[in-house]
């Protein structure tokens, strides 16, 4: 019950992950903060149309608590906080691949309306990473987790490139940032779309991979 209250943001002053008391306005206790480090080694399997990608950590523990809180308790501050945590890791990769454009997948309209913000956008703000919104979504598909794979594919395909970007991607190196890597289907489809519009290279970065 206490955990539920915490996740609902009703009880303050305790760690979002383990409920131990926190210092000041922190979302996590000192132990859970220490847990937030890039995890190595991690196994990388090929994702079609993605030239290279990186994953900060596993979708468990403190990272999972922060992402769930941002997503389902409509708390953009936990997403910003997560952005600060991954900032160095993100910038290291950005410096390595030198992308021309950094972007992220869009939420469907209904979800964006319910949440009021895009958690990946807030993570990028927290990490002080400049980004462009090159995708847009059509339609009102339900949350991904509840979809069967065929429906999931349909939801993925509702992504489009915004009109003003259609002719602006040629020869560009593009980095797509997303929060959780599960099947890789979404990112693969997005990168395929970018390459078909003339992008030179597509790379991806995820905050966490589902375990």
Residues near Zn ion (CB under 5 A) are 15, 17-18, 20, 29, 32
CA–CA dist 191, 171 (Å, integer): 14
Q: In the complex, what is the shortest distance from the CB of residue 68 to Zn ion, in angstroms, rounded to a whole number? A: 14
78 vs 118 by CB, closer to Zn ion: 78
CA–CA dist 107, 86 (Å, integer): 21
31 vs 128 by CB, closer to Zn ion: 31
2 vs 162 by CB, closer to Zn ion: 2
Angle at 116 between CA 105 and CA 160, to 5 degrees: 25
Closest alpha carbon to 81 in 47, 123, 39: 123
84 vs 115 by CB, closer to Zn ion: 84
Q: In the complex, what is the shortest distance from the CB of residue 89 to Zn ion, in angstroms, rounded to a whole number? A: 21
Tokens of 86: 């991954």
Closest alpha carbon to 85 in 62, 117, 116: 62
Q: In the complex, what is the shortest distance from the CB of residue 15 to Zn ion, in angstroms, rounded to a whole number? A: 3
Tokens of 195: 């390459």
CA–CA dist 136, 9 (Å, integer): 30
Q: In the complex, what is the shortest distance from the CB of residue 17 to Zn ion, in angstroms, rounded to a whole number? A: 4
């Amino acid at each position: 019950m206490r955990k539920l209250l915490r996740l609902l943001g009703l009880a303050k002053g305790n760690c979002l992950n383990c409920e131990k008391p926190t210092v000041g306005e922190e979302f996590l206790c000192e132990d859970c903060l220490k847990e937030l480090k890039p995890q190595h080694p991690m196994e990388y399997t090929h994702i079609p149309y993605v030239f290279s990608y990186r994953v900060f950590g596993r979708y468990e523990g403190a990272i999972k608590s922060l992402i769930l809180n941002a997503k389902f308790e409509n708390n953009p501050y936990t997403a910003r906080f997560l952005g600060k945590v991954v900032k160095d890791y993100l910038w290291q990769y950005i410096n390595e691949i030198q992308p021309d454009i950094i972007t992220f997948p869009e939420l469907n309209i209904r979800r964006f309306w319910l949440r009021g913000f895009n958690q990946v956008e807030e993570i990028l703000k927290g990490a002080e990473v400049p980004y462009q919104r090159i995708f847009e979504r059509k339609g009102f598909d339900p949350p991904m987790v509840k979809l069967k794979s065929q429906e999931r594919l349909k939801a993925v395909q509702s992504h489009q490139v915004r009109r003003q970007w259609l002719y602006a991607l040629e020869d560009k190196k593009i980095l797509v940032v997303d929060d959780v890597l599960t099947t890789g289907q979404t990112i693969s489809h997005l990168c395929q779309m970018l390459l078909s519009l003339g992008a030179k290279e597509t790379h991806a970065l995820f905050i966490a991979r589902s375990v």
